[in-house]
Chains A and B, each alone.
Chain A
Amino acid sequence: MSWLQGLEAIGIFLALALLFGLALGYAAVRFKVEGNPMAERLDQELPQTQCGQCGFPGCKPYAEALARGESEVNLCVPGGTEVMIKIAEITGRDPKQMAEGVEENPPIETAWINEDLCIGCVLCIKACPVDAILGATKLMHTVIQKECTGCELCVPVCPVDCIEMRPVATHLKNWQWPEPETLVHNKPLASLLVREG
């Protein structure tokens, strides 16, 4: 009857396989994740300036390309090294040096239109990725400072060069306490005394 026992074992395992298969199949349908979670997470970390300096038309396409593994981790210029490290962490790839000439922690700037020179050509309005420029044909344009991401996309398209980037002014509401200067000496105190003496 040993063959029967063998059949019994096979039967049990087949039943188990069927059970787990059904469970997995159900879970795949029931707990299906919409969209690409990695792209979503990457998109959360990107600065959302929509500047296109990475070569993609906006932050989301870059995040999606990163999630597919089709893009380098160090392309986000406004994000700088900090965002690059976060991207590398999420994608599980090695961090990479930022490209040459990328300024670390660039000052936050917003676009500003010299309204005396503006001819109302609406070119900048079309270029703005977040609709932060207000104006109409042959009417003066202006930037909604609160909405401007500082992507600089409007600067090159202006035919009369009336747009410039200006640093955000410090006032009482956005003033920050400075970081204390670290006075910790890592050298032994004796060496300090010798130098001073």
Chain B
Amino acid sequence: MAFLSTLAKLISPLYPMAKRWLYRFHGGIFPQYNKSLSTRNPIVPAILPSELILPLSQAVGEVAEPVVQVGDRVRKNQLIARSKEDAERKLVVAIHAPTSGNIVAIEPRTLAHPSGLKELCLVLQPDGQNDAIENALHSDGAWPQTPQALKKLLAESGIIGMGGAGFPTYAKLPNVPGKIHTLIINGAECEPFISCDDLLMQTQAQEILLGGQITANALGAQQLLCGIETNKPDAIAAIQQAITQLQALNQAPVPMQLMQVATVYPMGGQKQLVYEMTGIELQSGGHASDQGLLMMNVATLRAIYRAVQLGEPLTSRLVTVSGLGLESGFNVEALIGTPFDELAALARPKFPLDYPLIMGGPMMGVQMPNNHVPVLKTTNCILANPPQPREIQMPCIRCGECMDACPVNLLPQQMYWHAQGHEFDKVEKLNIKDCIECGCCSYVCPSHIPLVQYYRHAKAEIKQRHAEKAAAELAKQRHAFRLARLEREKAEREARLKAKKAAVKTMPAAATNEAATLVTENATTLSAREKAILAAQAAAARKEGQTDNDKKTKGQSLGTNKDKTAAAEAAKKRALEAAQKARATTATPKTADTPSPVTPQNARDKAIAAAKAAAAKKAVALPPLATDQITDLSANEGFTSTALQKEEARRAAVEAARANAKARKALKDSGTENITAATAEPSTPMMDARQKAIAAAKAAAAKRAQTPPQSDAIAKKDRSE
């Protein structure tokens, strides 16, 4: 290895790519690092800006819910926003006040995001007293022994991955102890210009390692590896010294090891560093924790230490302020929410800062839409590089340089080709989801094609297409369900109608049967039991018809469609009844004519016969030819007349409502009186219609109800005889 590195160093001036022999992963580039711009100056203590902007939405997860109001005075470390519901599901972490002061506004502000969108932010005006709540998280200094305990504390302390992705740390940890065998501390910091992790390792090595120990201990990990690039000799020395000290003090329950890794961009990427340090290749699309590995940034581990040991929530972080446009770059312990422009102004800009600042490094950073955006928990660098004249973009010459530089073994030129042609399904097949957007391909492209921008666009487009596909699938399901529901409702309605028809048919049939038996045979042939059964059947049939009808009458108020069908059914039923009664007259005359005093008639049978007679009398109005034709006709008539009435009423109601809505549109601001008056009006015609329907139904019911008493009376008379 030593021989190889000497050889690589020797020939690198002639063949720069010889440096690629020094590390395991494919590709990578060797840019100008410019780290000394900020490392040569000491760390600046926190400055109190004019205002602190604290966005309620984080990089990942849902929006947090503020627990303070405008005008409230808050103390440093006070909880000001947290998740509304279950934090585990919503991926929300708590937000704490970075300093004491007043909440002056909760309003949409431009976010530190390339979109330039505005989202709700808490605006805190510092009062300069820095009045802090000590041990805000109520920590007793004891190390959590289970992953659950640590996760709970992390969610409360508001710690998210501070390396850049910003994934809530508690969500990253597995629930089961022992699932992670190796915890890797990421101190590679491979992006040019950025030096905050370097300086943190130099100054707070013990806190970082203790944070690592706490996490590894709680997760039951077997070893702790710390990877640092060889271009940070001071950090390597500091960490090595801290490891020896901790081991000497017996404060390191988990064995620790420092590993120096080659200086190459992007060594700090999770997949690259894991492969370099352990030889394990992380699965595409999987989590590192599935393979027993967990990687954490040094700043995250330090925040964990401070939360566990001191009960201090995450309210500040080390930020590099650097760039070619600044006289003296530095690192600052910046409060979360400090505006970029105020920090950049401290570094003595060479030119007025009227160009967009960059959040992050020159390779992966994003230009800010506005320089008055806040430092986030993930902001590691504020870069002020004055805009350079852009190189003219030339056509792709298919040289394959990008392919050689890609650290995740993708085919950048193929992906570019398809992304440019909007063939996103082909881009997806080339595994664009594994692209880490490191920018190596754009860096080496001799045609100056902004490849990463194409990939970002393609990724967003693919994501949207998937979302659309899922939405279409959902719409399809819902549509199918709706169709099935309509079908079912129709079938149910038909079944109800059929049942009712059958009931109507069986009732007179049973009656005529009984009557026929009465006339032709002696009542003595019928056993009491049989009679009872027949009577019960008839009664049940009658009852069913009645209740069904009641339902229909009630249902009329539900909807216009139902109104129509209900009205039609009611009319049909009435007509049918009438017709059957008329038909019954042909059968009943004998009964009516011959009271048959000899036969010991059952009271009930007599009653029925009497009822039949009454019905027959009623039905005389109808022509004796009461055939189905007439039934249908009358049903139709009944239907059309009621339906017409309903329709008219509805139309009137809708007219009135429309007029109302117009009036309301016009007089929207002229008080509520008009509106209430107007709202009362349209309902009246509707009400009228409904009341009419109800009255009709009531009348029908009353008519029906009249018959049983009659028969009862007759029965009584009969008995008295």
Contacts and interface: CB of A to CB of B under 8 A. Distances in A.
- The majority secondary structure among interface residues of chain B is helix
A149 to B, nearest CB: 5
Contacts of B450: 180
Contacts of B558: 137
A59 B476 contact: yes
Interface in B634-658: 654, 657-658
Interface string B654-695: 100110111011001000000000000011000000000000
B472 A121 contact: no
Contacts of A180: 450, 453-454, 457
B456 interface: yes
A119 B479 contact: no
A105 B317 CA distance: 44
Contacts of A74: none
B502 interface: no
Contacts of B457: 176-180
B117 A175 contact: yes
A2 interface: no
B469 to A, nearest CB: 9
Contacts of B475: 48-50, 130, 147, 149
A84 interface: no
Interface stretch (B94-102, B392-400, B616-624): B392-400
A116 B456 contact: no
B394 A48 contact: no
B114 interface: yes
Size bracket of the A interface: 35 or more
B93 interface: no
Nearest to B113: A172
Interface string A69-112: 00000000000000000000000000000000000000000000
B244 interface: no
Contacts of B461: 176
Interface string B58-69: 000000000000
Contacts of B468: 47
A160 interface: yes
Given A180-B450, A180-B453, A184-B395, A121 B661 contact: no
B115 A160 contact: no
B661 A162 contact: yes
B478 A119 contact: no
B464 interface: yes
B108 to A, nearest CB: 11
The A interface is mostly helix, strand or loop, or mixed, namely loop
A58 interface: yes
Given A130-B475, A176-B464, A184-B393, A159 B559 contact: no
Contacts of B474: 147
In this complex, the member of B111, B119, B456, B478 whose beta carbon has the largest number of chain A beta carbons within 10 angstroms is B478
A47 B473 CA distance: 9
B479 A117 contact: no
B478 A131 contact: yes
B654 A159 contact: yes
A43 B372 CA distance: 49
A182 interface: yes
Given A116-B664, A159-B658, A177 B456 contact: yes
Given A119-B657, A137-B558, A177 B392 contact: no
Contact of B482 (A116, A130, A162, A176): A130
B250 to A, nearest CB: 47
Nearest to B478: A130
A164 to B, nearest CB: 13
A168 to B, nearest CB: 11
B460 interface: yes
Interface in B79-124: 111, 113-115, 117, 119
Interface of B: 57, 111, 113-115, 117, 119, 392-395, 420, 450, 453-454, 456-457, 459-461, 464, 467-468, 471-476, 478-483, 558-559, 654, 657-658, 660-662, 664-665, 668, 682-683
Interface of A: 43, 46-50, 58-60, 116-117, 119, 121-122, 129-132, 137-138, 147, 149, 159-162, 170-172, 174-180, 182-186
Q: Which 7 A-B pairs have the closest CB atoms?
A: A160-B661, A176-B460, A48-B472, A183-B393, A177-B456, A180-B453, A130-B478
Given A130-B478, A131-B481, A172-B115, 9 more contacts: A48-B476, A58-B479, A116-B664, A119-B660, A174-B467, A180-B457, A182-B420, A184-B393, A185-B392
8 contacts: A58-B483, A121-B657, A130-B479, A149-B471, A160-B658, A160-B661, A177-B456, A183-B393
